[in-house]
Amino acid sequence: MNPESISMQDAARISAVIELLSECFLQWKEARPLPADVMLNRYFRDRRFIGSKDRGAIASQFYEIIRHYKTLEWHVDAHFETGARFFVIASLVLLHKNTVLQVRELFNGERFSPYPLSEEEIRFAKALYGNKPLHHDMPDYARYNYPDWLEPQLKAAFPDDWKEALQALSQEAPVDLRTNTLVTTQQQLLEALKGEKYDVMPCTLSPLGIRMKTRHPIFTSQYFKQGWFEMQDEGSQLVSSLLDAKAGQKVIDFCAGAGGKTLALAAAMKNKGRILAWDTSAKRLEQMKERLKRAKVDNVQIQCIESESDSFIKRHKDSADGVIVDAPCSGTGTWRRNPDLKWRLRPSDLEELVDIQRKILLSAARLVKKKGRLLYITCSLLPGENEAQIATFLQQMENFRVVNPDNLCSNLNDKMTKQGGFLRLTPHEQGTDGFFAALLERIE
């Protein structure tokens, strides 16, 4: 919010942000809170009169507050009771350097604007004015914006540079695209997008990746409609490639979701062979169908399964050249992209996820034939979901061994494979989302 150009439109946007935050705070008290993007989509769907520019501005302000939630909460709690209006006031004063008078102009009570500030809110704004967002008395969880109960796990994940890691996780994620090699090449796609006036550059690690230097609606591109690319984080592109799937093989995507990694596998296999895409969500699998059609992919068979113990799975025992398990996880590596995940995650969720991951891994292992490979992936940074999970698996499944990914990807470096032959990606070191990947081979 530019303090020198406040308008009635700004006030209406602030009003929308307050409504969204109020609903968000209520959701966080629920047993299964809705993701922020779902709330945003529903909010805008019910208010189709809101234009695209306004939607973008509202979403940006909404997510900014969520990214800085613990920092702002510390200031709010230090003065008054919590509430969406107090968080918005705190963001305007601390993050955007608005004066108290400018905040009062936004909260003017006119049509579509928030009702005027109360005396309590005015005192709050005055108490904040001139202060910096970070205070020397702040605990680490407020300074670096993470759930305080996760502190031991986060510091265990980054013993030497946890502050840098958490600072990077609080930044906004870039937009990356994966070239669909069934249709075009990275260079052709770069030139085509530049021709449409998109500001793009090659990714530094993924040979198929393109990064947008500036945010701009990409789904309106004619090349998206023609299947030239899919939106996919550079880190996700790298971990997808580790299975090294070949044309003619049988590959199973055990937790396929909406098909991001399935599509990458299909391109790597040159549309030859067979990919079985499984998931427990029929809705997400249905979304995949449109993506497969647009990408010109026709070697994928979709199957909705009830769970990792579905009887259907047994039919494919000992038959797959490769199995990919993109396991359900805490999503801590995607906090840049989904900052509300921090505040929706609970200790009981983490315990449940670790148990589910263990069961999925054991079930997926049954499908791998001798000399076949099993690729375990999470977008988590927590050792309990990653290294510890693989250690437990290898204790139970002695017929599998770890395959060092250095031999498969020339763009890897020591920072990505520090110990154990696993691939680790982080925002502060590689500029990607956070990922963990373990490539395992069945030896007998």
Q: So what's the pLDDT on residue 5?
A: 46
Q: Enter the tokens of residue 36.
A: 């922020």
Q: Which of 145, 162, 195 is the last residue of a domain?
A: 145
One-letter amino acid for residue 396 of the chain: Q
> How far apart (Å, rounded) are the C-alpha atoms in residues 143 and 35?
24
Q: Which of 230, 255, 274 is the last residue of a domain?
A: 230
One domain, residues 210 and 269: no
**Is residue 170 a part of any domain in this protein?**
no
**Is residue 155 a part of any domain in this protein?**
no
The dihedrals phi and psi of 343, each to the nearest 5 degrees, come to: -95, -15
**Is residue 156 a part of any domain in this protein?**
no
Going by C-alpha positions, the residue among 402, 396, 397, 398 that lies closest to residue 375 is 402
One domain, residues 103 and 217: no
One domain, residues 199 and 312: no
Q: So what's the pLDDT on residue 407?
A: 60
Using the Cα atoms of residue 41, residue 46, residue 50 and residue 54 in order, give the sign of their dihedral.
negative
One domain, residues 191 and 248: no
User: Quick one: how many helices (H) and strands (E) in the chain?
Assistant: 19, 12
Q: Can you give the residue range of the structural domain that contains 204?
A: 175-230
One domain, residues 94 and 78: yes
* The 175-179 sheet, strands edge to edge: 200-202, 209-212, 175-179, 229-231
- C-alpha of 367 from chain center: 28
| Per-residue b or e along 417-431, where b marks 16 or more CB atoms closer than 10 Å to that residue's CB | beeebbbbbbbbbbb
**8 Å CB contact between 177 and 232:** yes
Q: Enter the tokens of residue 182.
A: 């069934």
Q: What is the pLDDT along the chain (444 residues), one digit of tens a residue?
A: 554 444 458 999 999 999 999 999 999 999 889 999 999 999 999 998 898 889 999 999 999 999 999 999 999 987 666 689 999 999 999 999 999 999 999 999 988 899 999 999 999 999 999 999 999 999 999 999 999 999 999 999 999 999 999 999 999 999 999 999 999 999 999 999 999 999 999 999 999 999 999 888 899 999 999 999 999 999 999 999 999 999 999 999 999 999 999 999 999 999 999 999 999 999 999 999 999 999 999 999 999 999 888 889 999 999 999 999 999 999 999 999 999 999 999 999 999 999 999 999 999 999 999 999 999 999 999 999 999 999 999 999 999 999 987 665 655 555 565 556 899 999 999 999 999 999 999 998
One domain, residues 275 and 421: yes
What pairing do the DSSP bridges indicate for beta strands 209-212 and 400-402? unpaired
Neighbours of 225 (CB within 10 A): 10
> How far apart (Å, rounded) are the C-alpha atoms in residues 423 and 401?
15
The CATH number of the domain holding residue 222 is 3.30.70.1170
Q: So what's the pLDDT on residue 1?
A: 56
Q: Enter the tokens of residue 233.
A: 């984080």
**8 Å CB contact between 224 and 175:** no
One domain, residues 84 and 179: no
**Is residue 345 a part of any domain in this protein?**
yes
Number of domains comprising the chain:
3
* DSSP string covering 240-302: HHTT---TT-EEEETT-TTSHHHHHHHHHTTT-SEEEEEES-HHHHHHHHHHHHHTT--SEEE
Q: Which of 145, 160, 192 is the last residue of a domain?
A: 145
One domain, residues 226 and 311: no
| Per-residue b or e along 227-242, where b marks 16 or more CB atoms closer than 10 Å to that residue's CB | bbbbebbbbbbbbbbb
One domain, residues 290 and 351: yes
Neighbours of 182 (CB within 10 A): 18
**8 Å CB contact between 268 and 245:** yes
One domain, residues 369 and 396: yes
The CATH number of the domain holding residue 390 is 3.40.50.150
**Is residue 276 a part of any domain in this protein?**
yes
CB-based contacts of 420: which residues, under 8 Å, 6+ apart?
Answer: 387, 390, 402, 438
- C-alpha of 369 from chain center: 32
Neighbours of 163 (CB within 10 A): 14
> How far apart (Å, rounded) are the C-alpha atoms in residues 435 and 235?
7
One domain, residues 339 and 225: no
One domain, residues 366 and 266: yes
Q: Bridge partners of 251?
A: 275, 322
Q: Is the pTM of this model over 0.85?
A: yes
**Is residue 384 a part of any domain in this protein?**
yes
**Is residue 430 a part of any domain in this protein?**
yes
Q: So what's the pLDDT on residue 6?
A: 44
For the chain, report the end-to-end CA distance as a whole number of angstroms. 62
CA distances in angstroms from 54 to 10, 23, 66, 218, listed in the order given: 9, 19, 18, 18
Residue with tokens 């209006």: 85
C-alpha dihedral (10, 16, 22, 23), degrees to nearest 10 = -150
**Is residue 194 a part of any domain in this protein?**
yes
**8 Å CB contact between 257 and 284:** yes
Going by C-alpha positions, the residue among 287, 279, 329 that lies closest to residue 305 is 279
Q: What is the maximum span of the chain, computed from C-alpha positions, in angstroms? A: 74
